[in-house]
Amino acid sequence: MQEKGLDLLWVTSPPNMNYLSGYDGWSFYVHQGLLVSLDAEEPVWIGRHIDVNAARITSFLDEANILGYDESYITDGKHALSFVADIVRSRNLGNSRIGVEMDTHYFTAKAYAVLSEELANASFFDADHLVNWARIVKSGAEIAYLREAGAITDIAMRAAIDAIDVDVRQCDVAGIVFQNLISGHPDYFGDMPDYQTLPMGENTSAPHLTWTDERFKAGDICTLELGANRYRYHAPLARTVFVGDPPDGIKRLAAIVGEGLEAALDEIRPGVQAQSIESVWRGITRRAGLRKESRIGYSVGLGYPPDWGEGTASLAPGDTTELAENMTFHLIIGIWNDHYGYELSETFLVTETGAECLSALSRELIVKDG
Amino acid sequence: MQEKGLDLLWVTSPPNMNYLSGYDGWSFYVHQGLLVSLDAEEPVWIGRHIDVNAARITSFLDEANILGYDESYITDGKHALSFVADIVRSRNLGNSRIGVEMDTHYFTAKAYAVLSEELANASFFDADHLVNWARIVKSGAEIAYLREAGAITDIAMRAAIDAIDVDVRQCDVAGIVFQNLISGHPDYFGDMPDYQTLPMGENTSAPHLTWTDERFKAGDICTLELGANRYRYHAPLARTVFVGDPPDGIKRLAAIVGEGLEAALDEIRPGVQAQSIESVWRGITRRAGLRKESRIGYSVGLGYPPDWGEGTASLAPGDTTELAENMTFHLIIGIWNDHYGYELSETFLVTETGAECLSALSRELIVKDG
């Protein structure tokens, strides 16, 4: 904030709110945020009055820094950002230089219009991803949660692979996946899953479709992209399952993707640029005739719906972020052809000398007898 | 649109996109939307190129009306709304009167800034909830999905009640809930759950907390708020479980809430105002000494994270919406005291003469032997 010349920051992004205050409630469908002032010891949580108890329970904030707006802001046409503006003015901060997260999911066009109109003497600056970038290197406590999340993801992935079989409904496999993601580990629970996909057949040709009640049959392909989380710290993982005897084309694709992913993982160490990881992948797989246009990974960690990515570094051409120890990425290869898809991924931690994958599962195409 | 004098509408809200085109992908974490033109037969879907296949598979749109932006809009600092502006200009619609959903979750401050800057000759109008209000009366097909969702919710709620017992971990109950929500009914699957809460003990004092790995013990109270969905049509339901012998105060609270909810349900019929339902509830429960400040319900149906509510009518003081046949509401009584909470709800369909509840479960406080 000091570098950017900001006096105040209005933080709307749920993972950023969590990172700065501990707040963890499923309340982000209404306007809420943290007011971070350079001059104050603690941020101020502002949200709907019915969520004040959640802020008391989950955040470390002082009672005086938890402020709820009443129900008239939900049902009577009053806007919650007017309430925020009132608080800013009442603290004599109406002339501040205020950072706002312009392109974050829950900071709507209207929220900004109301805030900037009601604080006409303030100046506004785009502080999008300012907090996200501060999150990119993980602490020991964060890494512990991510490793636990990785262990739960493996439990759920193994259960999914075990359950897939001819005549089993896809939704029954998905149900088992969610049960395992949430029941978690014998020693610790899994938190509310964000998005998980489990498409089958032609639906695998698109990355963001889910399951149906179709039954598996010989010749089906199924991509599993799962991510358990511990206190919202996610460890995603993707594998692809083939029911029956896979055609040579799919076996070849699996081999190329596997080779490319191994080579990319080998390249990881502190000091290497994010784009170099993608470039190694691209070199190997292009020679084998495979083209993929989207990025092959992104920084991962604390997340709330609709996204477990952190919105900062990407493993993509042009991204010059230097990898550093204790960064975590989801390295995901998704190939979406016209009629089917193939996915393989690892969530890794950058170590002093390389990469530590959070999953212990093997990386081959998984074949279930048809 | 005609009444509001709009030529074009940029629809960002995922349920509104689904309603107008059928599009159903888990891709709303990136910018996407529908361009609805008064002069065109069909809306135009604009999204990330990797989601084009999902639009082909799930929407009814013509191939020519599905337009994907490339990866440079994700990783190279280009903004997807510039791509949208290019399309508007290329169709000679740059001088239009354009409606935008100013306060919808995924229409960010930046999205609006880019769109309005790049279309400097257009004029912009707030069309927030324009499509939502068109969704408030359900069709026969929508009602069929909602009834199926209601049947799945009951299956999951029964499974949760069966599973709760002394020494059982809360997360294991939550896992069973999700498995049932997704496995669904023997004849049809449940879709990806949105938000579900399952707090226990002191966490029940806040409406938006979830589970932990604590074990149930005699004296625990647990509120279950679940909502299965069929093709994103939700039928939420809340019940409260007490482990062991409930204190008189909780039994009394359950009786008052139950009586108030029954009276509110009795009041429902076409032509009655939304606020009248709340007023009946309030009259009965105030006399019994209960105060509740938040609304007691909202229009429900098509929903995506982070919210299954439709954002239109509320059962709250001041809401003069007249109930009409085939509207659907979640009538939810949530009482959050300082140290515990109590929840009871029904999702109902307004019929020709009254209300049809989508759940068949009884409405008492559920007592599990401790």
CB-based contact B347:B361 (threshold 8 Å)? no
Bridge partner list, B37: B8
pLDDT grade for A305, boundaries at 50, 70 and 90: confident
C-alpha A36/C-alpha A7 separation (Å) is: 8
| Closest by CA position to A118, among listed A141, A90, A143, A146 | A90
Please state the CATH superfamily assignment of the domain spanning residues A140-368 in this structure. Answer: Creatinase/methionine aminopeptidase superfamily (3.90.230.10)
B273 touches chain A (CB under 8 A): no
Give how far the C-alpha of residue B254 lies from the chain's centroid of Cα atoms, to the nearest Å: 25
B70 touches chain A (CB under 8 A): yes
* CA distance readout (Å), B348 to B266, B293, B327, B331: 12, 22, 8, 7
What pLDDT was estimated at residue A174? 94
**CB crowding B189-200: b at 16 or more within 10 Å, else e:** bbbbbbbbbbbb
What pLDDT was estimated at residue B195? 65
Bridge partner list, B238: B225
Give how far the C-alpha of residue A306 lies from the chain's centroid of Cα atoms, to the nearest Å: 8
CATH 3.30.479.30, applies to A8-134? no
A117 touches chain B (CB under 8 A): no
On the question of pLDDT at A20 being above 90, the answer is: yes
Contact B306 A183 (CB under 8 A): no
Tell me the nearest-neighbour CA distance from A306 into chain B, angstroms: 5
C-alpha B64/C-alpha B52 separation (Å) is: 11
DSSP-derived pairing of the beta strands B221-230 and B44-48: unpaired
DSSP-derived pairing of the beta strands B233-243 and B366-368: parallel
B331 touches chain A (CB under 8 A): no
Contact A54 B209 (CB under 8 A): yes
The 3-state DSSP class for residue B182 equals helix
C-alpha A207/C-alpha A200 separation (Å) is: 11
| Closest by CA position to A24, among listed B175, B210, B223, B29 | B210
Nearest to A109 among B107, B211, B319 (CB): B107
pLDDT grade for A195, boundaries at 50, 70 and 90: low
Q: Which residue has the tokens 């002339």?
A: A95
Which amino acid would we find at residue B304? Y
Length of chain A: 370
Give how far the C-alpha of residue B192 lies from the chain's centroid of Cα atoms, to the nearest Å: 13
ipTM score of complex: 0.94
Contact B50 A76 (CB under 8 A): no
What SS3 string covers B299-330? EEEEEECCEEEEEEEECCCCCCCECCCCEEEE
Q: How many CB atoms lie within 10 A of CB B185?
A: 18
Name every chain B residue with its beta carbon within 8 A of the beta carbon of A110.
102-103, 126, 128
What secondary structure letter does DSSP report for B273?
B
Contact A189 B171 (CB under 8 A): yes
Name every chain A residue with its beta carbon within 8 A of the beta carbon of B223.
none
Q: Where are the domains of chain B?
A: 8-134, 140-368
* Residue in B56, B74, B129, B178 to test binding to A, most A beta-carbons within 10 Å: B178
B314 touches chain A (CB under 8 A): yes
Give tens-digit pLDDT for B47-83.
999 899 999 999 999 999 999 999 889 877 799 999 9
A179 touches chain B (CB under 8 A): yes
Give tens-digit pLDDT for B153-181.
999 999 999 999 999 999 999 999 999 99
What pLDDT was estimated at residue A263? 97
C-alpha B3/C-alpha B212 separation (Å) is: 50
C-alpha A324/C-alpha A136 separation (Å) is: 9
For chain B, which residues score pLDDT lower than 50?
none
- Chain B residue with Cα closest to A69: B294
C-alpha A357/C-alpha A76 separation (Å) is: 51
CB-based contact A196:A219 (threshold 8 Å)? no
A314 touches chain B (CB under 8 A): yes
Q: What is the DSSP string of A78-142?
A: --HHHHHHHHHHHTT-TT-EEEE-TTSTT-BHHHHHHHHHHTTTSEEEE-TTHHHHHTSBPPHHH
The 3-state DSSP class for residue A301 equals strand
pTM, full prediction: 0.94
Query: Which token pair is A123?
Result: 């100046």
B183 touches chain A (CB under 8 A): yes
What pLDDT was estimated at residue A207? 78
What secondary structure letter does DSSP report for A365?
P
